[in-house]
Amino acid sequence: MGSYRIAVIRGDGIGPEVVDATIDVLQELQDVVRGLKLTFDFVDAGDLCLKVRGTPLPEDTISAIKKAHAAIKGPVGETAADVIVKLRQMLDLYANIRPFKSYPGVPSIKGNVDFVIVRENTEGLYKRYEFTLDGGATAVALRVITRRGCERIARKAFEYASKRPKKLVTAVHKSNVLSVTCGLFAAVCREVSKEYPDVKYEEMYVDACAYNMVVRPERFDVIVTTNLFGDILSDEAAAVAGSLGIAPAANVGDKHAIFEPVHGSAPDIAGKGVANPCATMLSAKMMLEWLGEARAAKLLENAIAKTLRDKRFLTPDLGGNASTKEFTRAVKKALRNSA
C-alpha cells in the first residue's frame, strides 16, 4: 500500500462535477483502505484555461503530470485536440484501454457486454497532419501507421487478453480499402499473434465490427484497432453497454498514465448537478489498478456496482432522477459499509 501524487485536471462543462465527485469518493476510499495515501495536485487545462491563461495546456500542467504517479482528467470542450490528443503524443501514452461492461441495474440494449477496446493512441489520423491544397479547395489529412506503433499496441492487446477468461483478440481494420495503412496494421497484428499461442486471434473489417457490436456484442473480448476507428467504436460500445456515463478509459504509456471518462464535456447538462460521475469513478478504479492497488480498485468497483444495482441513485442518462451528489453519497456509503 503506498502514497501517490495524482495530478487532476477538472476540465470543462460537466468535468468539474464528475471529477469532484470522484475525488470525494477517493478521499473516502483512503479512510477504508489503510495505508493508501493520495495527494491531489489540481492543474489547469481546457477551454476555460485557454480563456483565463491564454493556452489550453500550460507548461506547469505538463510538468505536474510528468512528476505525478498518475493523472485524472475530466473532459474538456473545444480544446480536446490541444489537450488530450497532444498529451497522448507528448507523454507517449500509446495505449487507450477502454473496458465496456454491462452492470446489473443499468438499462441497456444488450445485457451481456464485457469487452475491451485497445485503441492505438498516438498515430493514425490523430497525428493531425492536415493541410490544404489548391488555395483551400482541397483538404488533406495524412494517416500515419508505423510498424513500431502497431507492434506495441498489438502486444498490449495480447497481454490484456492473456489475462482474461475468453482469450480472444480481434484486430479491427479496413485493409480491403486502405491496403497500405490498414494492411500494415493487420500484418503486424498477425505477426504478434504468433507470440501468443494461448490467445485466439481473428480479424474483422471495421464496418462489420460496428454491426456485430450491436447484434452480437457478447462475441467480443479484446478489440485492437487504430486511433480514429477506436474513438468511434468506443462511443458505440458505450451505447451498447448502457451509457457513455459508465465508460472509463486509461491512456497509458511505459512511464506515464492519464485516466479519463470516454465521454465529452456535455455542455447541455453542465451546472445542473445531474451528470453521471460513474465513468470518471471507474477511470479512477483503473488508475488504482495501474498503481498496483488491486484491493482498493476492487472495493471501489464493488461500491459503484452496488450503487448501480440498487437503482435508486441512477442519474438521468441511466433512466433515473438522482443527482451527481446523491449518486456519490451512495457510493461513499457503500464503501464505508464494505470496510
Rule CB under 6 A: which residues touch ligand GGG? 75, 80, 84-85, 231, 235, 262-264
When the beta carbons of 28 and 120 are compared against ligand GGG, the nearer one is 120
DSSP string computed for 37-76: EEEEEEE--SHHHHHHHS-SS-HHHHHHHHHSSEEEE---
Task: Round to the nearest angstrom and report the end-to-end CA distance of the chain.
Answer: 16
Closest residue to ligand GGG, Cβ-based?
264
Grid coordinates representing 14 are 460537466
- Active-site residue, selected from the candidate residues 94, 126, 196, 201: 126
Whichever of 13 and 217 has its CB closer to ligand GGG, that residue is 13
Please report how close the Cβ of residue 42 comes to ligand GGG at its closest, in angstroms.
21
| Residue in this structure with the C-alpha cell 482498493, named with its chain if needed | 296
| Closer by beta carbon to ligand GGG, 253 or else 264 | 264
User: How far apart (Å, rounded) are the C-alpha atoms in residues 257 and 237?
Assistant: 23
Q: Helix or strand or coil: residue 44?
A: coil
Residues recorded for the chain: 339
Q: Exposed, middle or buried: residue 302 (CB in 10 Å: 0-12, 13-18, 19+)? A: middle
Q: Which is nearer to ligand GGG, 203 or 235 (CB)?
A: 235
Q: Residue 120 corresponds to which cell in the numbers above? A: 492505438
**Is 235 labeled as catalytic in the residue annotation?**
yes
Minimum distance of ligand GGG from residue 75's CB (angstroms): 6
| Rounded distance between C-alpha atoms, residue 128 and residue 151, angstroms | 21
Return the bridge partners of 261, or none: 248
CB of 195 to ligand GGG, least distance (A): 28
Distance, CA of 235 to CA of 229 (rounded, Å): 10
Catalytic residue among 167, 205, 235, 311: 235
> Known catalytic residue: 317?
no
Catalytic-residue membership of 207: yes
| Shortest CB 65 distance to ligand GGG, Å | 17
Q: In angstroms, what is the minimal distance from the CB of 71 to ligand GGG?
A: 15
Q: Which is nearer to ligand GGG, 252 or 303 (CB)?
A: 252
Cell numbers found for residue 280 = 470518471
Question: Smallest distance, Å, CB 7 to ligand GGG?
Answer: 18
Cell of 103: 452492470
Instruction: Identify any residues that bridge with 205 across adjacent strands, giving them in sequence order.
Output: 173
Query: What residues contact residue 3 under an 8 Å CB cut-off, 6+ apart?
Result: 37, 38, 39
Nearer Cβ to ligand GGG, position 86 or 110? Answer: 86
Active site residue 160: no
What 8-state DSSP symbol labels residue 225? E
Q: Does the active-site annotation cover 114?
A: no
Catalytic residue annotation: 126, 174, 207, 231, 235
